[in-house]
Structure 1
Amino acid sequence: MADVPSPLAAFVVGEIRRARGAAGMTQEAFGRGAGFSASHVSAVEGGTRALTMDFIKGADRALRTGGLFERLVASVGAPSWFLPWLDAERSARQLRLFEPLLIPGLLQTENYARVVMRLNDLMSAAEVDQQVSARMERQRVLTGENPPQMVAVLDESALRRTGDGFGGIMAEQVAHLVTMAELPHVHVHVIPATTGLHIGLSGPFALARSADGGWVGHLENQLGGVVVDSKDDVASLLAKWEGVRNEALPRRQSIDLMKEMESHHGPQ
Structure 2
Amino acid sequence: MEDEPTAELIRSQLRRLRMKAGLSQEEFGKLVHFSGSQVSAIELGQRPFDRFFLKRTDEVLDTGGLLTSLLRMAERDGQPSWLQSWLDSERQAQQLRCYQPSLIHGLLQTENYARSVIRTDDMISEDEVERRVADRMERQSLLFSPDPPKYVAVIEEVVLRRADENFRGLMAEQIAHLIECAQRPHIHVHIVPVTVALHVGLVGPFSLARGRDGGWVGHLETQLGGEVVDKDEDMAILLARWESVRSEALSRQQSIELMKEVITSWS
TM-score by length of 1: 0.73
Amino acid at match of 2:157: E
Is the Cα–Cα contact under 8 Å of residues 207 and 217 in structure 1 kept in the other structure? yes
Whole-Å Cα distance in 1 between the matches of residues 11 and 244 of structure 2?
47
Aligned counterpart, 1:101: 102
- The superposition leaves residues 46-93 of structure 1 with CA deviations (integer Å, 9 ceiling, x where unpaired) of 959x77x9xx8xxxxxxxxxxxx7xx7342xx3433111100001100
C-alpha distance in 1 between matches for 2:92 and 2:171: 30
Q: Could you tell me how far apart the structure 2 residues matched to 1:15 and 1:245 are?
A: 48
- Deviation of 1:262 after TM superposition, in Å, equals 1.9
1: CA distance, partners of 2:215 / 2:237: 14
Q: For 2:197 and 2:162, how far apart are their aligned partners in 1?
A: 17
Aligned length: 213
Q: Retained in 2: the 8 A contact 1:170–1:265?
A: no
Q: Distance in 2 between matches of 1:111 and 1:47?
A: 27
Q: Please list the CA deviations of residues 243-267 of structure 1 after superposition, one character each: whole Å capped at 9, or x if unmatched.
A: 000000010000000111122345x
Change (3 A) 1:16 1:203: farther
Q: d(CA) in 2 for partners of 1:150 and 1:10?
A: 33
Q: Is the partner of 2:250 in helix, strand or coil?
A: coil
Question: Which residue of 2 is the match for residue 236 of structure 1?
Answer: 237
One-letter amino acid matched to 1:261:
V
Task: State the match for 1:90 in structure 2.
Answer: 91
Q: Deviations over 1:201-228 (max 9, x none)?
A: 0000000001110100000011110000
Matched with 1:212 is 213
Alignment root-mean-square deviation, CA:
2.8
Aligned residue for 1:157? 158
Q: 1:202 to 1:157 in 2, by over 3 A?
A: same
**Partner amino acid for 1:127?**
E
- Equivalence map 1:175-194=2 (5 Å): 175-194=176-195
Instruction: Describe the SS at the equivalent of 1:256.
Output: helix
Q: What is the deviation of 1:164?
A: 4.3
**SS at 2:195 equivalent:** helix
Residue 163 (structure 1) shift = 2.1
Q: Which amino acid aligns with 2:225?
A: G
Say if 1:168 and 1:265, in contact at 8 Å, map to a contact too.
no
Could you tell me how far apart the structure 2 residues matched to 1:12 and 1:210 are? 35
Equivalent in the alignment of 2:258:
257
For residues 5-57 of structure 1, what are the alpha-carbon distances to aligned partners after superposition, in whole Å with 9 as ceiling and x for unaligned? xxx9974865999xxxxxxxxxxxxxxxxxxxxxxxxxxxx959x77x9xx8x
In the other structure, the counterpart of 1:136 is 137
SS in 2 for 1:145: coil
Aligned residue in 2 for 1:38: none
Structure 2 match to 1:118: 119
Task: Return closer, same or farther for 1:170/1:232 CA change in 2, 3 Å cut-off.
Answer: same
Q: Does 1:73 align with 2:94?
A: no
2:238 maps to amino acid: L
| CA distances 1:139-177 after superposition (whole Å, capped 9, x unpaired) | 000000100000000111111111241100000000000
Distance 1:154 1:12, change over 3 A: farther
5+ residue gaps in structure 1? Answer: 1-7, 18-45, 57-68
Q: Identity over aligned residues, as a percent?
A: 53
Cα 1:92–1:221 change in 2 (3 A) is same
Q: Which amino acid aligns with 1:179?
A: E
Q: Which is greater in Rg?
A: 2
* Unpaired runs of at least 5, structure 2: 14-64
